[in-house]
Structure 1
Amino acid sequence: MTAETSIETDAIGRGTSRSAAGIVARGGSWMIGARLLRTMVTILGMIVLARLLTPSDFGVVALTATVTVLSLVILEGAIDVPTVRRDDLTRDDVQSMIWTALLFLAPLAGALYVAAPAIETAMQFEHLAPALRGIIPIILLQVFFVTGSALLRRQHRFRSAAMASLGSVTVYMTLAVILAALGWGLWSIIIAQNISMLLTALFVAHQTRIGLRWPRRFSFAAVGPVGAYGAGSRILAWFWSSIDTIAVAATLGPAAAGLYTRAYNINIQLKEPFSALDGPTRQALITVRNRDGQVTAQAVIMLRLITIAVAGIAAVCAVLREPIVMLLLGSQWLAAAPVLGILMIGLPARIALNFFDGLAAVAGSMPNMILRHILMCGVIGGGVFLAAPYGMRAVAGLVCGALYLALLLPARAGERRLTGGRLPLLGAMAPGLAIGGGMLALGEFVLVPLANGSQILALLIVLPATALIALLIGLVLPASWLPDALRRRRRALLRLGSREALT
């Protein structure tokens, strides 16, 4: 049954792709392409908005964003995880999940509306209460966005999922810039977010033919234990990934929160293209699991290449932290540069943790995912308020260290059966981390000093040098580290280069 015809029936099947490499290559190309374009649009919007809005405006937006991200991660856990994981999914199940989510979120949205003034008073953030009330429609619309996106990925309709993702941020950034230029301040962002989420939710609902229809047999069990574990793990992940912003805001004030979140946002934008691989990667690993019962070899190849790419990019961005902040945000945001550099060092660990969560979901070993996030909550939640009085750098350093610490949590039985344990995966990360560390040291202690304080010259020195290093690394990587498709392409490229050299 194809993805297109399965939409018309009660049972919602998976896409018909059988090759893991094919799913990652085709789905990954669409999702990564969309994320790259999303990142470009976001960065362009950031460049303009950083010059139209104040750090305090961004501080308020950062706190409202923690709320919308919380609702989003709850939905991703409760709806996205079981939609991807379950083999016997029906349209009634989907409608039950939608209504379960709405019945859960509606009271929370009402409580947020009532509590908003008290939250503003406690945080001492001007305009926070109306901003919190302004994001309530986004919270409810996310139900349809998450459900539709999950169904598109389940059916391997990655092109439609990519279009929804790209269209959402394009509408958001375009409207935000226009409204900010007209003097709407932080409301330019909130209004743009509402309109963007509405249009995106309508698009994915139309693509997957979901809506507000009450299921023929409503059941809270449609979410199931997998969804409960997924939601629990995502809430914990939200806590440890947001508590640093809350700690900075509560301790250092709105302006510091704005500076910290701009650095964090740049870090997240660089994470986006690699996060786009999450959906195709999970589908590919499910295909391998159903065929072979174990995914160790495939997971090692994937994680090794991902870590090499992420660590190299993170090293370059850490070295060029000041030029990046100057170009993207302007000189008034330069205090965010050290925070950006520290957070970049933790980027490989952040991507690897996402990969480990994907493996846990594929293996059905959700308790280990929960334990990993509990560890992060304990370390980060317990430390950021102690670190915050020492400044934003101390908070960023604590977060970075906790990310690497979480990688060491042993795998449970379900994951060990599927992947062979944690040691092969940590070993797969080692080459990438070594390459990233070497590039960071070279840039920090050799290349940047050559610029003699000139940020433009630093860019002109560091970027070509690291591009050459990346090319050399790509040429000398062992063939056994590469998937068949990349191995063939590199061999063809080398043959072509040899022929051109002879002629």
Structure 2
Amino acid sequence: MAPWPNSRERLNRRYIAQESSGSKVDTNSKSRAAKNIVVTGIAQAWRFVTGFLLTVVTTRLLKPSDFGILAMVATTTALISLVKDLGISQAIIQRSTTSPSQLNSLFWVSILASAGFAVALGASAPLLASFFDEPRVELVTVAFALLVLISGPQAVPTAILNRDSHFNLLAVVDIVSATITFGIGVTWALLWQSYWALYASAAAGTIASAAGVWLSARYRPGLPHFDSSTMQMLRFGWHVSGFNLVNYLSRNADKILIGRFLGSDQLGLYDRAYRLLLFPIGQLNGPIGQVLVPLMSRIRSDATRYRSTYAEAVSLIMLTAQPGILCAVICAPQLLELLFGEQWMPAAPIFQWLGIAGLHQVMSSTTGWLFLSQGRGADLFRLGTYSAIMTVASFVIGLPWGAVGVAASYTIANYIALVPLIWIAAGRRGPVSCKDLINLAIPHVLATLGAAAVLETIRFTVAAITPLQMVALFGVSYLVYLCVILLFGTKRELLWRGLRMLRPKPS
């Protein structure tokens, strides 16, 4: 093995060569982006399957209160996971080139930030246990603080792999870590039927992911050197991190309020419904955004290509996710009983309300790609602040009616206030306008309404839905949705172009 200095010198030469050549990314190849999405999507599909199976197995083996305890801790730990690198990952991905000294500076800043957040999380453990009036929360919080230290150093190498389109390597890391997470989680849930089984699976996945990223990346940290470009990247990262902070606080205030005022049982029901709904949305938006944000950052000066790239990706996401979410919402009582058992039936109305909000979030959540790829960190932070105020207010309004009331109030606020706010803010600047977003969404709105009408008609004519009929209903939802979408020429063209890009070229 080469000694450390030579390894670093080779890395430096590689980045110097990138600087001199402009570090050109294959910006004129949508087919390459499509293939990267497929590779990343395969890994995320495996993560979805293993995560979904882990959810089903652990939900059947553990009690709602076990999930409630983890949800109390996760509200804080997941927040820290979002902001612990101060947005440095997105700052690196958004830049076409970075020097070794800039990367080193950002790496050490991320290390110090992660260490500080880990200490803060550990110190907050007694306060969290006191706030939720649940002594078991204290030790679990300290345990998660250790995971913050382990995951912190991987921010910069992961960002480099993303920016340089090493999605094959990242896919392998995702598949391996997801498999280990599933294996450890199931094993410990069978042997140790407590909330510690959930922590064990999270710890195994974190360690496996960190090890995989460092083995895959060629980056080796050196001495930091701060310049004006580094400070600009840090400012952009701070704005992104600020958005993540306020966005996460608003999205998790519901769990904090329910846990504090309604107890761990109600929180467990709410958390399972919330995760069952949002997990597949994240698995779709994650891999596509991971590929598209670097690409869109390079082509933002070409308005036509930028718009078409975004429109194709969002149309694909909505076509993939919305029919499934719609069917799950309409058949929620039967679906939850089938997956989790009769004890989870009270979560059905919560799931239905959140699912109605999820239908628009499939698209609205992608507007973050516009802000990030255009370098609009400050705009993103302002939008996050306004959205957070509205979201938390909706939770407080719905709290007197229990967990179902929180979900209902949140969904109503989404359609009345949040959707217009997000779309107007995203379309104020840049190649994609608010009108473009509306035109993009209208065919999918009509397709959703058409599929909903057919599914409701079938549901009222069937006395009881069997598992086989449930599968058939999902198929009907996708079929009707697709038939309506194909009535629009722009959507037919998008789908045809997507199929042509994925079709292998003759040798």
TM-score, scaled relative to structure 1: 0.88
Residue 446 (structure 2) aligns with: 434
1: CA distance between counterparts of 2:475 and 2:492?
25
**Distance in 2 between residues matched to 1:254 and 1:260, nearest whole Å:** 10
Gaps (5+ residues) in structure 2?
1-9
SS in 2 for 1:277: helix
Find the aligned partners of 1:424 and 1:370 in 2 and give their Cα distance: 22
Say if 2:17 is the partner of 1:9: no
Conserved? CA contact 1:79–1:97, under 8 Å: yes
Alpha-carbon shift at residue 28 of structure 1 (Å) = 0.8
Alignment pair present for 1:231 and 2:241: yes
CA contact (8 A) 2:85 2:110 kept: no
Flag the 1:410–1:218 CA change in 2: closer, same or farther, 3 A: closer
**Partner residue, 1:280:** 291
Residue 450 (str. 1) matches residue 461 (str. 2): yes
- Say what the alpha-carbon RMSD is for the aligned residues: 2.9
The percentage of aligned residue pairs carrying the same residue is 19
Q: How many Å apart are 1:292 and its aligned residue? A: 5.4
Change (3 A) 1:329 1:484: closer
What residue is the counterpart of 2:51 in the other structure? Answer: 42
2:426 and 2:434 in contact (8 A); partners too: no
| Alignment correspondent of 1:407 | 419
- Contact 1:120-1:127 at 8 Å conserved across structures: yes
1:464 and 1:191, CA in 2 relative to 1: closer, same or farther beyond 3 A?
A: closer
1:9-43: per-residue Cα shift (whole Å, max 9, x none)?
34567574233522431111012111111111111
In the alignment, what sits opposite 1:314? Answer: 325
The yes-or-no answer on 1:65 pairing with 2:74 is yes
C-alpha distance in 1, partners of 2:333/2:300? 45
Structure 2 vs 1, CA of residues 286 and 122 (structure 1 numbering), >3 Å: closer, same or farther? closer
Please report how far the alpha carbon of residue 214 of structure 1 lies from its aligned counterpart in structure 2 after TM superposition. 4.6
Mapped to 1, the partners of 2:295 and 2:120 lie a distance apart of 41
1:481 is displaced (CA, Å) by 5.0
Q: Secondary structure at the match of 2:223?
A: coil
Gaps of 5+ in 1: 493-503
Residue 470 of structure 1 deviates from its aligned partner by 4.2
Is the alpha carbon distance of 1:61 and 1:360 closer, same or farther for their aligned partners in structure 2, counting shifts above 3 Å? same
Q: Per-residue displacement from partner, 1:465-502 (whole Å, max 9, x unpaired)?
A: 22432453465442565348536659x9xxxxxxxxxx
Compute the TM-score of the two structures, normalised by the length of structure 2.
0.87
**Equivalences for residues 63-102 of structure 1 within 5 A:** 63-75=72-84, 78-102=87-111
How many residue pairs get matched? 486
Is 1:361–2:375 an aligned residue pair? no
Per-residue Cα deviation, 1:226-268 (whole angstroms, up to 9, x for no partner): 1111111111111122111111111210111111111111112
The DSSP-based 3-state class of the residue aligned with 1:425 is helix
> Structure 1 pair 253/334, CA: closer, same or farther in 2 (3 Å)?
same
Work out whether residues 284 and 317 of structure 2, in 8 Å CA contact, stay in contact via their aligned partners in 1: no
Mark the CA change 1:181 to 1:301 in structure 2 (over 3 Å): closer, same or farther.
closer
Instruction: Please show how residues 215-364 of structure 1 align to structure 2 within 5 Å.
Output: 215-217=223-225, 221=231, 223-271=233-281, 272-291=283-302, 295-364=306-375
- Indicate yes or no: 2:146 matched with 1:134: no
CA 1:463/1:481 → structure 2, altered by over 3 Å: closer, same or farther?
A: closer
Q: 1:461 to 1:18 in 2, by over 3 A?
A: closer
> Of residues 356, 361, 384 in structure 1, which corresponds to 2:395?
384
Q: Secondary structure at the match of 1:408?
A: helix
Matches of 2:499 and 2:474, distance apart in 1 = 28
Q: Which amino acid aligns with 1:330?
A: G
Larger CA deviation: 229-238 vs 395-404? 395-404
Question: Match of 2:180, as an amino acid?
Answer: V
Task: For 1:474 and 1:71, locate their aligned partners in 2 and report how far apart those are by CA, in whole Å.
Answer: 40
Deviation at 1:455, TM superposition (A): 4.5
Which stretch of the first structure deviates more once superposed, 191-200 or 220-229? Answer: 220-229
C-alpha change, 1:315 and 1:15, in structure 2 (3 Å) is farther
1:88 Cα offset (Å): 2.8
Q: 1:488 to 1:121 in 2, by over 3 A?
A: closer
Is the partner of 1:364 in helix, strand or coil? coil
